[in-house]
Amino acid sequence: MKYSYQGTRENIAKAKKTSEAVSPKKTMETCRAIRGMKADKAIKYLEEVIEGGKHVPYTKHRKKMPHQKKGSPGGYPKKSAEKVKETIKSALNNAENQGLDTENMKIVHSAAHKTISIRKPPGKLRNKSTKLTNIEIILKQNN
């Protein structure tokens, strides 16, 4: 599977996680919240989301979503934030291996795409399925 990023290919570092067992909708909103941030600032933000200090504002998937302290609908998607944080760290490691300056990296592309759903075997949990998500992060070095 290819990356969906269509920008320039110089001074960038990529990372992708495939088939992660997290909610696609929550992961899309988490990726939308960190897009455009510097990588270290995004990691701090996601750590605060995991702890429950800050919320992720939901813009698209917010039906029956309560408003948070700042006045916008949102939530605290801990599992999604954890997986996105791991992907950012992987992209930073890739940037370091390429010889790029990891302190000046900015997130230019962050996306989450829904993949297949795995059905659980019949029993007590009938008609339950696990949704899988692909996460991709692309960092670019600021000059």
Query: In angstroms, rounded to a whole number, what is the distance separating the alpha carbons of residues 97 and 73?
Result: 39
CB atoms within 10 A of CB 3: 14
> Is the pLDDT assigned to residue 9 strictly greater than 90?
no
Q: For position 1, what pLDDT does the model report? A: 66
Query: In angstroms, rounded to a whole number, what is the distance separating the alpha carbons of residues 66 and 95?
Result: 38
Domain ranges of the chain: 12-141
Q: For position 28, what pLDDT does the model report? A: 95
pLDDT band (50, 70, 90) for residue 65: confident
pLDDT band (50, 70, 90) for residue 18: very high
Is 12-141 in CATH node 2.60.40.10?
no
Torsion, CA 67, CA 32, CA 38, CA 45, rounded to 10: 30
Q: Which residue in 36, 130, 127, 45 sits closest to 84, CA to CA?
A: 45
Q: For position 124, what pLDDT does the model report? A: 65
Q: Give per-residue pLDDT as tens, 99-125.
A: 999 999 999 999 999 999 888 777 766
Query: In angstroms, rounded to a whole number, what is the distance separating the alpha carbons of residues 112 and 79?
Result: 14
Query: In angstroms, rounded to a whole number, what is the distance separating the alpha carbons of residues 112 and 70?
Result: 25
Higher pLDDT: 7 or 118? It is: 118
Q: What pTM does this model have?
A: 0.90
> Is the pLDDT assigned to residue 126 strictly greater than 70?
no
